[in-house]
Chain A
C-alpha cells in the first residue's frame, strides 16, 4: 500500500531538529525525501547522540537516526557556486524544499524564493526561521533553549511557590525544534493542497517563536484580558494535581474535578483527616496543600505506581504514572498497539525507536529504510537523478563540493 504522500518529491536542507522533523513526517508517509548535508561533517545532529555504547560516530547518533528515517542522504556544499548549481538542479523537479538555514546564512548563500521559483514555478519552499524572516530579531543567534524561552512557555515551569529562587526550567530535549518542525509540516502540506488545480508554488515561512507562542493555553490572554502576569510561582487553582513518590517510583495525582477527589478518598479507605474542613473542596485543598501533602505523602509512599494507577483508572480518576523509559518500553498497552518500531541501520545496529504519531486506517506510516549514512546516496542521486558521470562526481568530491 502506497503511503498518503508517496507522490511527493521533497528536498531538505536541514540541520538538527526543525526541518528534519518536518520532512520526517512527510517521509514516513511515503514522500521521497533527499536530505542535503554539509560535506565532511554532515548534519549537526550526527554529533548529538545518544550513541550505542557511548561510541561517538557520525552514523550512530540516536537523534540523527530517529529524525532521518526514510530519507536518502547526499553531501553538498551549497555555499560554493558549483554546489549551489547542483542544489538548483535538485530543486528543479522537486515539489517541496524544506530548510532551516538561518536568515543571515540565507543572505550569504543567496538562498531565496524568487531565485528558486524561476527554476521551478511549482515549487513550495518552506523556510523555518527562529524568529521569522522579518522583524528586528531576524538575525538573532539562537539555540533550542533560547527559543523555548522566547516563545513564552519556559517561564511557566520550574521551582513553584516553594522555590522562587530556582530558574525557569527547560523541558527535556529539543522542543522548540519539534514544534517548529510540525507547524512547518502543517503549513507545507496545506500549500501542497492549495497547489492542486493551478500548479502555483509558493513560499511558506514559519517562525519557531510564533509556533511556541501559539501554544500558551490561557496564559497569554491573562495580560490582554486581566492585566495579570502568568507565573510558575502561584498556587495551583485546585489540588491534588502533583507528582508524588510511591514506593517504586512516582505517580501523577490528578483530581481536577470534585468527584475525582471523592473517589481517591475512597481508594485511600476514607481516612478521617479527609473530612477536615480545610480539605473540603479543590480551592481549599490548594490553599492548604502543605498540610494535605503530608497526609498524602504518607499514604501514597506505601503504594506501588501501577497498582494505584489501575485502581484510580478503574474509578475513572485520571492518574498517570511518571513513566521511566523502561516503563514505556515495557508497557503492555504500547506493545499491543505496536507503537515502538525496530529499525536496523547497518552501522548503528538494530534498536527500537518511537513510532508514528498517528495510525491511519488506509495509509499507514511505514519505515522503508533507515536514516542514511553520511553521503550514502551521492552516487545514486548525483549520478542517477542528475545524470553526472562518475568522473564528474569524483572531481566534485575531490574539490570538496560533494
Chain B
C-alpha cells in the first residue's frame, strides 16, 4: 500500500483542550506521528470532562471527549517543574518536523520553547501557535476560550431569532475551526519546506479565523454601513427555509422527552410546488399567496404554519423520506443518537470502533474524507496518559533504562 501523506512526519504536540488537538488529529489521520506532551500534574482539561462510561470519571483515561480528539496519537508524560523534563522535550523537538501548541501567548516562551529558541537548534522547524487573539497586537495576552470567540467574532450578533438578543452557535465552534485551518496551514508550510528547506512560524488568531466564516455580515457593514438584522432560520432568497417540529421520539430517554425537528429549504418556486404536492396541499401549489419568492416572504408566517401542521404529525424519518422522494431539500436536525443510527454514515463506514484498554469498544467519529491512493484509517485509540513514555524514551529519545528509572524517581515523568 502507498505511504500515507504524512508518513515520516513527527509532531511535538504541546496542545491541549480542543483547538490544538483537533489540528493534530488531522495530522495523525494523515499518517504523521503525533506525540502529545502531557503531565499528570495538570492533565488536559478534556481528560477530566464527561462523558464517561456509566457516568463514572474513574481514571484520566475514560473521557469520551478526550478519546474522540486524540485518536491515533501517542502520549509522553513530562513534568516541567523538573529541569530534566525540559531536556527530554528538547530531544523530542530536535527530532520533530512540527511543533504545535494552543497555550495562551507567552506560555511557550516562558517554558523556554518559544519559536526563536526552537529555531536556533532546529532551523527548518514549522511551529504553529493557535492563540485566542494571535501572537501580536495589544490584546495578545488576553484570555480566550472556545465559547468566548463565538460572540467576540461577530457570529453571535448575526445569529438569533428575529427581534431577539444575539445567540451562541451551540458549541465552541472557533476551536475546531482553528484546528482545521491550522492543519491546512501546517501542510502548506510543509509543502514550502519540501521545495526550499525553509521552516516557519504560523501565528493563528482564533478570533480572526472565525471572522473568515462571516464575510457576508462584515461586508454588509463595509459596503453599506449596516449591521445585519438577525433573521433566525430564514433566508432572504429561499422560502420556506426553516426548522420544523416533528413528533417527539416515542420513548423517553433518561426520563426526558426527546424533541425532533426537520430542516426544509426550497431554493425556488418549483421546489416549493414540489413541497406543496408532497404534503398533500395541491391547492397551494398555485395559490397566489405563495406563488413567488416575494409572495412567500410576505406570507412566511402563514407558510411556516402550514408546513408545521404537516411535519408535526409525523416522525422526522417519515418527513425526510417523503420530501426527498419528492425532490425537496429536507434533512433531520440530527442529535447524537440520530447520528449514531444514521444509515448513511454507517454505509460509508465513517465510524471508528477500536478496543480501548479502559473503556472498551466505543463508537467514535472518524475521518471525513476518503483518499483513493493513500487510504487513511485510525489505527489506534486515544492514548492513556503517559502510555508511550517508556517506548519513546528508550527508542526515539535514546535514554537508558537506568536514566529513565532515575527520571521517574525524581518525578520528571509525572
Contact = CB atoms under 8 A, between A and B. Distances in A.
Contacts of A269: none
A62 B155 contact: no
A170 B243 contact: yes
B339 A152 contact: yes
Contact of A321 (B152, B165, B258, B265): B152
Given A141-B329, A157-B168, A224-B362, A62 B181 contact: no
Interface residues of A, number: 144
Contacts of B310: none
B30 A190 contact: yes
B137 interface: yes
User: Which 9 A/B pairs are nearest by Cβ-Cβ distance?
Assistant: A157-B170, A221-B64, A325-B221, A62-B219, A156-B170, A202-B373, A218-B65, A146-B331, A210-B368
B240 to A, nearest CB: 10
Contact of B190 (A147, A179, A193, A214): A193
Interface in B326-367: 327-340, 343-345, 347-348, 350, 359, 362-367
With most chain B CB atoms within 10 A of its CB, the pick from A7, A170, A245 is A170
Given A145-B235, A186-B183, A205-B369, A225 B345 contact: no
Contacts of A147: 331
A187 to B, nearest CB: 4
B352 to A, nearest CB: 11
Interface string B255-274: 01011010111010001000
Interface in B207-228: 207-209, 211-224, 227-228
Given A167-B242, A323-B157, A172 B170 contact: no
Contact of B65 (A135, A185, A217, A358): A217
Interface in A209-227: 209-211, 213-227
A326 B227 contact: yes
25 contacts: A5-B191, A50-B219, A140-B324, A142-B329, A148-B263, A149-B333, A155-B261, A172-B159, A173-B214, A173-B217, A193-B190, A194-B2, A203-B371, A210-B369, A218-B51, A225-B53, A225-B64, A226-B51, A229-B336, A317-B143, A322-B156, A323-B154, A334-B207, A336-B136, A358-B185
Nearest to A22: B184
B180 A182 contact: yes
Nearest to A328: B154
Nearest to B330: A146
Interface stretch (A84-92, A248-256, A276-284, A388-396): A248-256
A354 interface: yes
Output the residue of A50, A191, A316 with the most chain B CB within 10 A.
Answer: A50
B219 A223 contact: no
Contact of A313 (B46, B68, B142, B207): B142
Given A220-B365, A323-B153, A353-B219, A137 B344 contact: yes
Residue from A171, A231, A250, A319 with most neighbouring chain B CB atoms (10 Å): A171
Given A354-B211, A360-B200, 18 more contacts: A5-B188, A53-B224, A151-B334, A170-B233, A172-B159, A204-B372, A214-B368, A218-B65, A219-B336, A221-B65, A222-B336, A224-B340, A226-B50, A226-B51, A319-B148, A323-B156, A332-B138, A363-B192
Contact of B18 (A203, A217, A336): A217
Contacts of B156: 243, 250, 252, 322-323
Interface of A: 4-5, 7, 25, 29, 47-54, 62-63, 65-67, 113, 131-132, 134-137, 140-143, 145-158, 164, 166-175, 178-179, 182-187, 189-194, 196, 198, 200-207, 209-211, 213-233, 241, 243, 245, 250, 252, 254, 256, 313, 316-329, 332-334, 336-337, 339-340, 351-363
Interface stretch (B3-11, B81-89, B282-290, B392-400): B3-11
Interface string B20-39: 00100010001000000000
A228 B329 contact: no
A328 B138 CA distance: 14
B191 A221 contact: no
B49 interface: yes
B362 A225 contact: yes
A323 B350 contact: no
A328 B158 CA distance: 13
Contacts of B337: 223, 229
A183 B172 CA distance: 17
Nearest to A45: B216
Contact of B68 (A48, A221, A362): A221
Given A141-B327, A250-B151, A357-B209, A324 B227 contact: yes
B291 interface: no
A193 B5 contact: yes
Contacts of A218: 46, 49-51, 63-65, 68
Interface-centre pick from B160, B200, B211, B267 (highest chain A CB count, 10 A):
B211
A284 to B, nearest CB: 18
Nearest to B230: A172
Nearest to B341: A223
Contact of B151 (A7, A29, A222, A323): A323
B384 to A, nearest CB: 16
Given A145-B263, A333-B137, A29 B188 contact: yes
B64 A224 contact: yes
A336 B142 CA distance: 15
A336 to B, nearest CB: 5
Given A50-B223, A191-B374, A318-B143, A215 B171 contact: yes
Nearest to A352: B222
A213 B329 contact: no
A218 B214 CA distance: 25
Contacts of A222: 50-51, 64, 336
Contacts of B157: 322-325
A2 to B, nearest CB: 9
B411 interface: no
